[in-house]
Structure formats: C-alpha cells, structure tokens
C-alpha cells in the first residue's frame, strides 16, 4: 500500500510531459526529503519562493531551522553536485531564507544551510549524500 502511494505521489509530481531536468530535480527532492525525515529531521516546507530566491526544502532539527539545497546529477558527472552551489547561489539562498524567516516573524532560532547531493543511475536514485552545515549566510547578511 505504501509503495502504491509513493508511486502515485511521484507520478503526480513528475508527469511524463515535463522536461527531463524538472523530472530529475523533483525525483532528487523527493529522495532528499525521505532521507532527511528518516534521519530525524522534521519537514516543514518544500519549494518556498520569494522574489529573491527559492528554498528547495526546509526542515527543523531541535532548535535549528535547516535550509536544504538539493542538487541532483546523473552518475558519471565530472563535478560533485555541491560544486554548483557557488557564491551567487549561496547569496540567493541567504536572501530567500531571510524572507522565509521574516514571514515567520523572525523567531529566535539558529539557521543552518545543508546540501543534499542525489546521484541517479538509469533514472533511479543510486546515492544520497547529506552535507551538513555546508555554508553560512552570505556576507553582509546576518540573523539573530
């Protein structure tokens, strides 16, 4: 029964007429969410958007808000997926995180930025790597 629900959810989120990169990205986000929930993090929201950026996944772990950037790549790529999170991307994530915190009325909470790398083989998830505390808010931004 659970497998049927997962298959329905995946098919609903990834219709076959979507571009391949969108389907791969959603597959990676679903795998990352399942991995982190199994690791004990509390899922809050997916694909939060503000005019300054987007947050793939947001979790809570104890007294810490965890902002997760998911990078999905096919096996055999030359660079690690996390290498795509450059200074410009970190800045946009920082701004979007501050917008999200503002919507929450700036709670007294620590924040952390993680990256989850999802490696695909033949269109299926082959490996998930969780890189905790990968970077902090981009200068000059601060919180708390």
> Could you tell me the residue range of the domain that residue 71 belongs to?
2-135
Number of domains in the chain: 1
Residue 92 maps to which CATH number?
A: 3.40.1350.10
Residue 140 lies in a domain: no
User: What pLDDT, in 10s, does the model give residues 12-27?
Assistant: 565 667 787 788 889 9
52: left (phi over 0), alpha (psi -120 to 50) or beta: alpha
User: What pLDDT, in 10s, does the model give residues 70-126?
Assistant: 999 988 767 889 999 999 999 999 999 999 999 999 999 999 999 999 999 988 999
Residue 144 lies in a domain: no
Residue 142 lies in a domain: no
Q: Are the C-beta atoms of residues 140 and 97 closer than 8 Å to each other?
A: no
Residue 49 lies in a domain: yes
Residue 105 lies in a domain: yes
* Average pLDDT of every residue of the chain: 89
Q: Are the C-beta atoms of residues 65 and 101 closer than 8 Å to each other?
A: yes
User: What pLDDT, in 10s, does the model give residues 38-47?
Assistant: 999 999 999 9
């Amino acid at each position: 029964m659970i497998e049927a629900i997962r298959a329905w959810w995946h098919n609903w989120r990834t219709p076959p007429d979507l571009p391949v990169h969108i389907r791969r990205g959603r597959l990676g986000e679903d795998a990352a969410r399942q991995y982190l929930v199994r690791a004990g993090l509390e899922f809050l929201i997916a694909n939060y958007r503000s005019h300054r950026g987007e947050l793939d996944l947001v979790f809570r772990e104890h007294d810490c808000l965890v902002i997760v950037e998911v990078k999905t790549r096919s096996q055999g790529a030359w660079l690690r997926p996390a290498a795509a999170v450059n200074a410009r991307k970190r800045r946009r994530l920082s701004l979007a995180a501050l917008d999200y915190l503002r919507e929450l009325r700036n709670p007294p909470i620590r924040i952390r930025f993680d990256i989850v790398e999802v490696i695909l083989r033949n269109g299926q998830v082959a490996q998930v790597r969780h890189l905790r505390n990968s970077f902090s808010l981009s200068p000059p931004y601060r919180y708390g």
